[in-house]
Amino acid sequence: MSATFFPQDIIIKKRDGGTLSREEIEYFARGVVNGDFADYQATALLMAIFWRGLTPQETAWLTDAMMRSGEVIDLRALPGAKVDKHSTGGVGDKVSLILAPLAAACGLKVPMMSGRGLGHTGGTLDKLEAIPGFRTGLSVSEFRAILQETGVAMIGQTPQVVPADRKLYALRDVTGTVECIPLICASIMSKKLAEGIDALVLDVKFGRGAFMKSKERALELARDMVATGRAAGKPVRALLTAMDQPLGRAAGHTTEVIESIECLKNRGPADLMEVTLALTAHMLILGGTARHEAEAREKMSAALSSGAALAKFRAMCAAQGGDPRVADDYALLPTARQRIEVRAPASARGHVAGVDALKIGHAVMALGGGRAAVTDRIDHAAGVSDLLKIGEPVTACTRLCTLHANDPARLARARELVEAAITFAPVAPPAAPLVQDLIE
């Protein structure tokens, strides 16, 4: 017979600094879904966890219990290694759109469940939906079939997967308990482990445009997630990557899809390719399709130069209802009615010293390409392109970026934000490494 618990006892135990048992944690994760744990009791426990923390063992139990609160996708019957990547998100982070078809072209199965953008960070699902017809709301059986057929499928979280996180995230969002590392770890890892993966690579971003502002906090989160993966018996590696300036030269939806396709054509911006190739290499190594980084790089280079990675992208678009011709004709993507270039002031001399990713993210929102609430509609055509990078030379009237908007009234605020985001210095600042740490 299973033990009977009272939510208030569990709350008091954690409030007073105790360690919860596996059964108590399972009761909590089940209870938030079936109503045994009322919302007010769940939020009290979340706040107690916020202050008292969770041990690594408690975090692993919570992750496991949350994962099992709904459907765990079983991909064991599919041949090949199933490996995914998760990013904590940033401005211009379109890595998934490039990495998923690239990794599939190198022999992996990539079952990717992604989220929507909120606030200044964009979401992979929203970017994919800029492609006319592309469906991200597939059933699990469609997901499995497309994965089998093309090696890559990119969808939104189905309501059946990790319902405990859906509930807990909504409560955390309105009770000041989002910024809690064990809760973030359990939230992310429960969703990734429920995808039926064999291994996972994490991109934990830090800096102005990231969820984690400091490297120390990002490192703590990365270590917790790697340890939680290990506790679940899955190999997980994390890269710590800088997010002070946007990744690549584009932010938005159509603008980022175009830049991603350019990367698949082997002509993307260096910083975006650097992060994408580093993450994909670790996926190939964990999935066993490359023995070491040099071999992974050879395979990726061949997949990009032969057009195999782009062909996977087209195949994925077609399988998910999207128009694969966008890879050849960018005019098929939603295009903004207004396009203006923002230029450096006449006094500008020297180099770009900084491009504040947070302000660029806010500029995309000002143009209509972001959402403040999950229910907001976004304008896929709105965004920024041609953005200068730190260190590039500037003189009077150099183009700093291009703004895209359907509503001309939105351009003035966006222009103010990008002008404030981009700063200049007489000499180029020393280049900081983009990939700063690997946690295994």
Q: Which residues are catalytic?
A: 86, 165, 172, 187, 191
User: 187 vs 289, which CB is nearer to ligand URA?
Assistant: 187
- CB of 94: closest distance to ligand URA in angstroms? 18
- CB of 148: closest distance to ligand URA in angstroms? 27
Does the footprint of ligand URA cover residue 225 (CB under 6 A)?
Answer: no
Burial of 77 (0-12, 13-18, 19+ CB in 10 A): exposed
What are the backbone angles phi and psi of residue 427, rounded to the nearest 5°?
Answer: -120, 155
Are 63 and 186 within 8 A, CB to CB? yes
CB atoms within 10 A of CB 312: 23
Are 304 and 313 within 8 A, CB to CB? no
Are 312 and 152 within 8 A, CB to CB? yes
β-bridge mates for residue 239, sequence order: 203, 438
- CB of 47: closest distance to ligand URA in angstroms? 15
Q: Which residue is nearest to ligand URA (CB)?
A: 187
User: In the structure, how many helices (H) and strands (E) does the chain have?
Assistant: 16, 13
- CB of 183: closest distance to ligand URA in angstroms? 6
- CB of 40: closest distance to ligand URA in angstroms? 20
User: 62 vs 326, which CB is nearer to ligand URA?
Assistant: 62
CA 369 from chain centre, in angstroms, equals 17
Task: Name the token pair of 141.
Answer: 């059986």
User: 20 vs 113, which CB is nearer to ligand URA?
Assistant: 113
Does the footprint of ligand URA cover residue 32 (CB under 6 A)?
Answer: no
User: 88 vs 280, which CB is nearer to ligand URA?
Assistant: 88
Does the footprint of ligand URA cover residue 150 (CB under 6 A)?
Answer: no
CA distance 311 to 303: 9
- CB of 184: closest distance to ligand URA in angstroms? 4
Euclidean distance between the first and the last CA atom of the chain, given in angstroms as a whole number: 40
- CB of 386: closest distance to ligand URA in angstroms? 30
User: 110 vs 184, which CB is nearer to ligand URA?
Assistant: 184
- CB of 187: closest distance to ligand URA in angstroms? 3
Does the footprint of ligand URA cover residue 218 (CB under 6 A)?
Answer: no
406: Cα within 13 Å, side-chain hemisphere: 12
- CB of 172: closest distance to ligand URA in angstroms? 7
CA distance 353 to 414: 20
- Rg value, the chain, Cα: 22
User: 180 vs 411, which CB is nearer to ligand URA?
Assistant: 180
Does the footprint of ligand URA cover residue 254 (CB under 6 A)?
Answer: no
Are 129 and 171 within 8 A, CB to CB? no
CA distance 133 to 115: 18
Does the footprint of ligand URA cover residue 276 (CB under 6 A)?
Answer: no
List CB contacts of 424: < 8 A, sequence separation 6 or more: 344, 348, 349, 350, 351, 352, 353, 394
User: 159 vs 350, which CB is nearer to ligand URA?
Assistant: 159
User: 5 vs 169, which CB is nearer to ligand URA?
Assistant: 169
Does the footprint of ligand URA cover residue 69 (CB under 6 A)?
Answer: no
CA distance 165 to 171: 10
From residue 184, alpha-carbon distances to 119, 178, 206, 273 in Å are: 17, 7, 15, 27
Q: Which long-range contacts (CB under 8 A, 24 or more apart) does 216-224 make?
A: 217/181, 218/88, 219/437, 219/439, 220/181, 221/88, 221/181, 221/184, 221/185, 222/437, 222/439, 223/439, 224/56, 224/59, 224/181, 224/182, 224/185
List the interface residues with ligand URA, window 157-216 (CB under 6 A).
169, 183-184, 187-188
CA distance 148 to 361: 36
Q: Judged by CB under 6 A, how many residues of this single chain contact ligand URA? A: 5
- What residues line the site for ligand URA (CB under 6 A)? 169, 183-184, 187-188
